Chains A and B, each alone.
Chain A
Amino acid sequence: MTWLRDFRILVALVPSTAVILGPFVWLIVSSLKTEAEIGAGHPFDLPDNLMWQNYVDAWNVGSFGSLIGNSLINVAGVVALMLLACVPAGYALAKIRFPGREWVFFGFIFGLTIPIQAIIIPLYQLLQGLGLINSLTGVVLAQVSNGIPFGIFLMRSFFLGVPNELTEAAKIDGASHLQILVKVFLPLSTPALQALVIISALSTWNDFFLPLVVLISPEVQTLPLGLVRFASTFTTQYRLVFSGTVITFLPVIILFILTQRRFTEGLTQGALKG
């Protein structure tokens, strides 16, 4: 009887999935049309000739190569700093028994729920004072600071699950906490590190608010910001807007489909365990 139940679910699920994914199909089909075909009013009709030229034009006019490069630098910087800051901090809050630990912990809780928009004025002033406006370094520092509480909680709760006997045995052998972290804990931490890397990378790649505020010149802008600027410059040239948009979302979607099991696990575990 399972096939009958599956069939009844599919009758509802297939149309809803089609509607939800409709925008992607429409964008990809339209991105290969001429302006005249786009204006013809039949959104899902296939184009007569595949206009790959749209992609070449959008890529060149919109400097997507440099936007993607900036986004990659941004992601690499955030992920590296997140790991450097959150892994030792999460370990310290979980396994090192020192006076003042609870105070630090509450310090992180204090700022945790404050949205980035609510501190943007002094943050802008600070970056301006440091000469980091219009620089990816400024965006990276602000994004890392914004993500640190989450990263610490994720790593801390993972490390809390590792038995204390491991730490105590290593301590008796004379190992320092740094050695225990690197040699004992890190090799065990792949799932948590994976979750931290995936979540930081995706949210940085997709971030808009901080880049919007900090990155002013087109040469330093990241992909979402660059696409918004591109789309508002070429509002009436739909073929360029559509192919530029596809260039922006397709790489991440392909990467996700290739690694979807790890990706999904990382996101779910990150959200639930953090």
Chain B
Amino acid sequence: MSNDTTRAGRAGAIAARAAPAAAETYKDGSQDSAVTGFALLLPAIALYAAFSLLPILVTIWISFTNSGGFNTQAEFVGFDNYLRATQDPIIWQSLLRTFLWLIYHVVLAGGLGLLMALAISAMSRGRVFFRTALFLPHLVSLAVVGVIWANIYDPFYGLLNTVLQNIGLGGWIRGWLSEPMLVLFSVNVASSWQGFGLYMLLFIAGLQNIDRSLYDAADVDGATAWQKLVHVTLPGLRDVMTFVISLALINGLKGFATVFVMTNGGPFYASEIITTYIYRLAFSAQDHGLAAVLCIMMSILAITITVTFNRWRARGAA
């Protein structure tokens, strides 16, 4: 999702799996000097400290000020912004929409990725063709996906409504992006169309790692294809599945571009999610104090997702 960088989304989920490095010495008990270590780390630390760590700390500070926009003086106001946040109905609504958005993405993109991976892996020939073909949507920028799907959903010229008309399902024609109950789902379909390819690749890799002898044993026992799926394949995919779900949740949380391009949160905030509301508060309303509170909520959500799946995975491994 416009995470917008899939890279960053992946990083979030990966952090969960990274084990802390043990303090090491050489065989004679010696260590390298800290100077050597930090010299090689310097470019990374400098960039990261300036453009990531510092902004995290400043965001926390801004949430306690009445900053009214860029280039303005701000005063410390304590927990005022947090209080205002609890009273802002749009914040609660956007959080609720974000949760729905995450569920849609995990089910649509994760589910489609799993189904396609199962089908492709079961074939004896033509795997590379289908893997390549089905991965193509993932190469398209989510902003461009937004442009494409805004046209697919166009009420008059759009692909969806004209196809429905042509195959005699004219009654199903809808205003896919204008009906408040439908719009979030419609936009999520676009995001999930772009997102499922990566999950499919991860599931295919996971399927390759399942021990073939388990299937042979199941054959000897006369297991049906369904029994093999339920008792061998799905348990064997457990680790990949938790990884894909955490990745999909983080990617979903960072979703921005499709909503911004297709509906800009509308109609009447019906598709406003946490990222688009942050953007609106920061760059249109210029209410930085409130925006910073929302930024902190978003960070806490991201950390919660990562830590929860880290624990879950650790328990599975134990």
- Interface residue ranges, A against B (CB under 8 Å): 2, 5-6, 9-10, 12-13, 16-17, 20-24, 26-27, 38-39, 41-43, 81, 84-86, 88-89, 91-94, 96-102, 104-126, 128, 141-150, 152-153, 157, 168, 176-178, 181, 199-200, 202-210, 212-213, 223-225, 227-228, 231, 238, 241-242, 245, 248-249, 252-253, 256-257, 260-261, 264, 267-268, 270-272, 274
- Whether A209 lies near B4 (C-beta < 8 A) is yes
- Whether A153 lies near B7 (C-beta < 8 A) is no
The complex places the Cα of A91 from the Cα of B143 at a distance, in Å, of 35
The complex places the Cα of A227 from the Cα of B107 at a distance, in Å, of 30
Most buried by B among A98, A178, A202: A98
Interface residue B151 (Cβ < 8 Å from any Cβ of A): yes
Q: How far is the CB of B144 from chain A (nearest CB, A)?
A: 5
- Whether B4 lies near A9 (C-beta < 8 A) is no
Interface residue B23 (Cβ < 8 Å from any Cβ of A): yes
- Could you give 30 example pairs across A and B, Cβ below 8 Å? A6-B126, A9-B119, A20-B134, A20-B137, A21-B136, A23-B152, A41-B162, A92-B37, A97-B26, A101-B37, A102-B23, A104-B37, A107-B45, A113-B305, A115-B253, A115-B275, A115-B299, A116-B4, A116-B8, A117-B278, A117-B279, A118-B278, A141-B51, A149-B11, A207-B4, A223-B141, A227-B147, A241-B151, A245-B148, A268-B201
The complex places the Cα of A124 from the Cα of B260 at a distance, in Å, of 19
- Whether A117 lies near B21 (C-beta < 8 A) is no
The complex places the Cα of A121 from the Cα of B162 at a distance, in Å, of 43
Partner of A249, one of B7, B144, B261: B144
- Whether B295 lies near A119 (C-beta < 8 A) is yes
The complex places the Cα of A23 from the Cα of B149 at a distance, in Å, of 8
8 Å CB contacts to A: which residues of B79-124?
116, 119-120, 122-124
Which residues of A lie under 8 Å from residue B116 when comparing CB positions?
Answer: 13, 16
- Whether A238 lies near B151 (C-beta < 8 A) is yes
Which residues of A lie under 8 Å from residue B260 when comparing CB positions?
Answer: 208, 212
Q: How far is the CB of A196 from chain B (nearest CB, A)?
A: 10
The complex places the Cα of A206 from the Cα of B50 at a distance, in Å, of 24
Given the known interface contacts A20-B193, A85-B47, A101-B21, the answer about A114 and B15 at a Cβ–Cβ threshold of 8 Å is no
Interface residue B291 (Cβ < 8 Å from any Cβ of A): yes
Given the known interface contacts A118-B295, A253-B139, the answer about A228 and B205 at a Cβ–Cβ threshold of 8 Å is no
Question: Which residue of chain A is the closest to B58 with respect to CB atoms?
Answer: A122
- Whether B52 lies near A206 (C-beta < 8 A) is no
A-B contact count, CB below 8 Å? 359
Given the known interface contacts A113-B12, A147-B7, A238-B157, the answer about A205 and B134 at a Cβ–Cβ threshold of 8 Å is no
Tell me what chain B mostly uses at the interface: helix, strand, loop, or mixed. helix
Which residues of B lie under 8 Å from residue A6 when comparing CB positions?
Answer: 123-126
Question: Which residue of chain B is the closest to A149 with respect to CB atoms?
Answer: B11
* Stretch of B28-36, B213-221, B226-234 on the interface side: B28-36
Which residues of B lie under 8 Å from residue A17 when comparing CB positions?
Answer: 130, 133-134
Given the known interface contacts A21-B136, A181-B40, the answer about A148 and B47 at a Cβ–Cβ threshold of 8 Å is yes
- Whether A208 lies near B202 (C-beta < 8 A) is no
Question: Which residue of chain B is the closest to A248 with respect to CB atoms?
Answer: B144
Question: Which residue of chain A is the closest to B283 with respect to CB atoms?
Answer: A213
The complex places the Cα of A245 from the Cα of B120 at a distance, in Å, of 29
Which residues of A lie under 8 Å from residue B43 when comparing CB positions?
Answer: 81, 84-85, 88-89
Which residues of B lie under 8 Å from residue A96 when comparing CB positions?
Answer: 32, 36-37, 40
Partner of B198, one of A41, A100, A271: A271
Given the known interface contacts A84-B43, A97-B24, A102-B21, the answer about A272 and B205 at a Cβ–Cβ threshold of 8 Å is yes
- Whether A117 lies near B47 (C-beta < 8 A) is no
Which residues of B lie under 8 Å from residue A224 when comparing CB positions?
Answer: 141, 143-144, 257
The complex places the Cα of A205 from the Cα of B279 at a distance, in Å, of 21
Interface residue B56 (Cβ < 8 Å from any Cβ of A): yes
- Whether B36 lies near A98 (C-beta < 8 A) is yes
Partner of A123, one of B51, B130, B283: B51
- Whether A146 lies near B8 (C-beta < 8 A) is yes
Instruction: Name 7 extra pairs, CB < 8 A, besides A92-B36, A119-B56.
Output: A38-B157, A43-B159, A145-B52, A146-B52, A202-B139, A224-B144, A268-B201
Interface residue B166 (Cβ < 8 Å from any Cβ of A): yes
Which 6 pairs of residues, A with B, have the shortest CB-CB distance?
A: A150-B11, A145-B51, A98-B37, A206-B141, A122-B58, A119-B55
- Whether A92 lies near B8 (C-beta < 8 A) is no
The complex places the Cα of A109 from the Cα of B303 at a distance, in Å, of 11
Which residues of B lie under 8 Å from residue A153 when comparing CB positions?
Answer: 11, 14-15, 18
- Whether A268 lies near B205 (C-beta < 8 A) is yes
- Whether A203 lies near B143 (C-beta < 8 A) is no
Which residues of B lie under 8 Å from residue A144 when comparing CB positions?
Answer: 47, 51
Partner of A24, one of B10, B37, B136, B292: B136
Question: Which residue of chain B is the closest to A143 with respect to CB atoms?
Answer: B5
B 58-91 binary contact with A (CB < 8 Å = 1; else 0) = 1100100000001000000000000000000000
Which residues of A lie under 8 Å from residue B21 when comparing CB positions?
Answer: 93-94, 101-102, 105
- Whether A150 lies near B50 (C-beta < 8 A) is no
The complex places the Cα of A42 from the Cα of B15 at a distance, in Å, of 49
Interface residue B223 (Cβ < 8 Å from any Cβ of A): no
Which residues of B lie under 8 Å from residue A93 when comparing CB positions?
Answer: 21, 41
Partner of B14, one of A9, A101, A150: A150
The complex places the Cα of A231 from the Cα of B159 at a distance, in Å, of 17
Q: How far is the CB of B85 from chain A (nearest CB, A)?
A: 14
Interface residue B183 (Cβ < 8 Å from any Cβ of A): no
- Whether A120 lies near B36 (C-beta < 8 A) is no
